[in-house]
């Protein structure tokens, strides 16, 4: 079985989104700083739009370019993996951040 190939743009987008989201979540867990909740919210919105645009681009490349099909198709799947990761992080955040204990 050969090595799985991804397009450079898809791979970089996945890694940047995943690592930034992970860093924000870990930083929030360590500091419990309220501004990180707001920053994280805007990050998720921006990352969702960017990931959607890159996924659509990769999908269009996959459907139109016969020679690079496998690489772009793998990148689409890799980018779609960010969706369950985001929901997992949101669930972990809600479990960890007992919002009722925050000062108002």
Q: From residue 18, how far is each of 24, 59, 66, 90 by CA, in Å?
A: 10, 20, 29, 13
Residues 6+ apart with CB under 8 A from 81: 14
Taking the CB of residue 33, how many other CB atoms lie within 10 A of it?
Answer: 11
Write out pLDDT tens, residues 23-68.
999 998 888 888 998 999 999 999 999 999 999 999 998 888 767 5
Q: How are the residues of the chain apportioned to helix, strand and coil, as percentages rounded to the nearest 5?
A: 80, 0, 20
Taking the model in full, what pTM does it have? 0.80
pLDDT interval class at 1 (50, 70, 90)? low
Write out pLDDT tens, residues 6-21.
899 999 999 999 999 9
Q: Would the CA dihedral through 20, 43, 14, 29 be positive or negative?
A: positive
Stronger pLDDT, 69 or 102, i.e. the higher one: 69
């Amino acid at each position: 079985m050969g090595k799985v190939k991804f397009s450079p743009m898809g791979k970089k987008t996945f890694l940047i989104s995943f690592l930034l989201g992970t860093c924000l979540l870990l930083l929030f867990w360590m500091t419990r700083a309220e501004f990180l909740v707001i920053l994280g919210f805007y990050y998720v919105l921006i990352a969702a739009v960017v990931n959607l645009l890159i996924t659509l681009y990769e999908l269009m490349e996959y459907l139109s370019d016969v020679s690079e099909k496998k690489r772009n198709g793998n990148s689409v799947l890799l980018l779609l993996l960010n969706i369950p990761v985001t929901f997992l992080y949101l669930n972990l955040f809600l479990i960890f951040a007992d919002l009722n204990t925050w000062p108002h």
